[in-house]
Structure 1
């Protein structure tokens, strides 16, 4: 008789819940940091034609090295902080989630540690768990900044194989100081330092990308996604820039033909329309800054944001506030430290609806407490 339980789930997964933000059918959805502006008719038509052409050869496997796509991504990044990036420096996969998991599969594993600093992206410990890597979390400061002396000491203490740091950070929106990359890459030794720039295109003017110092650090990895600024969340395309030996290591752990011909075609077409697809980024930055100012004027604590979302608190009963907003047709995210909520930046009309709903909820809460 088998001693395994039914179903024979790994011990580390017993009691775990699948990751995912609530998906509710409400008029204003501001919970998953999507770009509220979809591709234009011209971009959509080009993507559709590229996919049609790819469909004619779907009886054949796709280019397993995604050469054309990686070359196009290198060209794009060389215009946004990259310096002389080529095909050999680029890797792409199904969303930055798969990129991150491949990094942990290649450089993590039993007997190795992954380190980040909380609060941070909630999927990081799951990547570690799924790759049998020990997870260690340091702490950020009260304003969600990173104390570099403390962070350096933590890296030296833990000796992680992989350090995961988003900039801008999710869920707080805070960007790393420019000197952070050098400090952490030097402290990590031969450990890999991953700067997750999923929201990098939304950073404020003057905030550098870690791509600018990539040639100086062989252990630095900079990840990006097309889900946010490019408005391609449904296409699932993430990528990274790193030293060629890191890219080659990921080719060992990737699944055969992991990136479909349809995905490659759609991403290539989108890159042809990059200026157009990124055209709303400045408007979203302005709306973000206006939202920060408005929330502070209402008396909320608000984290400085370089992303397309804003974390705000302190909320006495954040779930009650979240539910009251849902009841008014506005969905935001219940995430981050206790007492805080996160709102994605939508269109001006969506943000006005959010503000009106939050104003009503606060008035009801204050009336009930009177």
Structure 2
């Protein structure tokens, strides 16, 4: 049988492995930052009804401009945003890919501050961009000065700022984001995939869009709306940016069923955000109780916690897995990343961590 090495793939793809995390059937899955709660029954029923209305017309192509969905996103985000400022795709990764296809490419560079979301360099590679990783401070924070210096040194075409940051949970303050927008000559995108889980939801880069036409703010429905299996991401930006993204999207890229499901879910944003509040409580519980046990969890504004103070992350990962608990080893020394789960899942996690500490 032909192997991958025998195929005429691009030279820069040779030796690489696909992105992915373990998909194991265990009782407590806290490894990929999913929303621990199922879609509420009332919300699911509304979505099913919308799908039933859309399905008979599936012989026709969907609304190419997904006008109803863009209006729904604008209403959800607020801040005076209009439909013309909204874009969407099949998950926020596709939205980020659109941005790099429009504003990146060969001979251009993408800068971000590491450790950060591991898809960024893969997306850059996919469009032939140069990836420029700039290390964060030891506590994973960023300052306006550090951002300005990095942009001045590397002169990137695109800057990605993940806030709250994955895998550390670190929020980036608005002063630092504005410093990046002022210093960069190109595009600055703030990836707010976990924004709904922040301690202060009002501290969003959406408030800066009016002053900075090359600033973009991306979001996802995977986390707060428990839509990881549906795949809907979106961003807000100047209308001219949205026009640029139209140049690179595939025709009719959002199916009619995806659009119908997302519009229905957005009608229930209050119900979905109440579940987010429960997960924020469990996240803070993880921080507090693991601190009391002698671990060193980092402050988090996301739905997960990066836990430091672990002597042997691989051994701890395996020991938790033996107890039916799946977490994530992100490769940072002496750490594991743990997603906030339900109250019962959090109790199981904390009990297991206490037992391992005692051993």
- TM-score normalised by the shorter chain: which range applies? over 0.9
SS in 1 for 2:350: helix
Distance 1:336 1:216, change over 3 A: farther
CA shift at 1:245, angstroms?
0.8
Matched, 1:136 2:132: yes
CA shift at 1:299, angstroms?
1.3
CA shift at 1:314, angstroms?
2.5
Distance 1:159 1:228, change over 3 A: same
Q: Tell me if the contact between 1:172 and 1:336 (Cα under 8 Å) persists in the aligned partners.
A: no
Partner of 1:268: 263
Matched, 1:26 2:21: no
Cα deviations by residue, 1:179-211 (Å, 9 ceiling, x for unpaired):
01210001102x111000000011113760000
Matched, 1:238 2:212: no
Q: Distance in 2 between matches of 1:314 and 1:232?
A: 33
Cα deviations by residue, 1:128-175 (Å, 9 ceiling, x for unpaired):
000100000001111110132122111111111110111100000010
Partner of 1:88: 84
Partner of 2:171: 175
* Residue 252 of structure 1, aligned match among 247, 252, 270: 247
Partner of 2:36: 36
Aligned positions, number: 356
Q: Once structures 1 and 2 are overlaid, which stretch shifts more, 204-213 or 41-50?
A: 204-213
Partner of 2:56: 56
* Residue 349 of structure 1, aligned match among 336, 344, 351: 344
Q: Distance in 2 between matches of 1:5 and 1:206?
A: 48
RMSD (Å), alpha carbons? 1.3
Partner of 2:66: 66
Q: Tell me if the contact between 1:218 and 1:243 (Cα under 8 Å) persists in the aligned partners.
A: yes
Q: Distance in 2 between matches of 1:194 and 1:255?
A: 21
Cα deviations by residue, 1:218-244 (Å, 9 ceiling, x for unpaired):
110000000001111111000000001
Cα deviations by residue, 1:12-60 (Å, 9 ceiling, x for unpaired):
1111111111110000001111111112111101101111111111111
Q: Once structures 1 and 2 are overlaid, which stretch shifts more, 41-50 or 278-287?
A: 278-287
CA shift at 1:343, angstroms?
0.4
Q: Tell me if the contact between 2:164 and 2:195 (Cα under 8 Å) persists in the aligned partners.
A: yes
Partner of 1:287: 282
Partner of 1:368: none
Q: Distance in 1 between matches of 2:222 and 2:228?
A: 4
Extract unaligned runs of 5+ from structure 2. Answer: none
SS in 2 for 1:279: helix
Cα deviations by residue, 1:104-143 (Å, 9 ceiling, x for unpaired):
1110111100000001000000010001000000011111
Partner of 1:323: 318
Q: Once structures 1 and 2 are overlaid, which stretch shifts more, 282-291 or 240-249?
A: 282-291
Q: Tell me if the contact between 2:99 and 2:245 (Cα under 8 Å) persists in the aligned partners.
A: yes
Q: Distance in 2 between matches of 1:255 and 1:31?
A: 31
Trace 1:145-156 onto structure 2 (pairs within 5 A).
145-156=141-152
Partner of 1:299: 294
Q: Once structures 1 and 2 are overlaid, which stretch shifts more, 274-283 or 67-76?
A: 274-283
Extract unaligned runs of 5+ from structure 1. Answer: 365-370
Q: Distance in 1 between matches of 2:271 and 2:201?
A: 22
SS in 2 for 1:179: helix
Q: Once structures 1 and 2 are overlaid, which stretch shifts more, 301-310 or 5-14?
A: 5-14
Partner of 2:102: 106
Partner of 1:367: none
TM value normalised by structure 1 = 0.94
TM value normalised by structure 2 = 0.97
Q: Distance in 2 between matches of 1:71 and 1:327?
A: 47
Q: Tell me if the contact between 1:120 and 1:166 (Cα under 8 Å) persists in the aligned partners.
A: yes
Q: Tell me if the contact between 1:222 and 1:240 (Cα under 8 Å) persists in the aligned partners.
A: yes
CA shift at 1:87, angstroms?
1.2
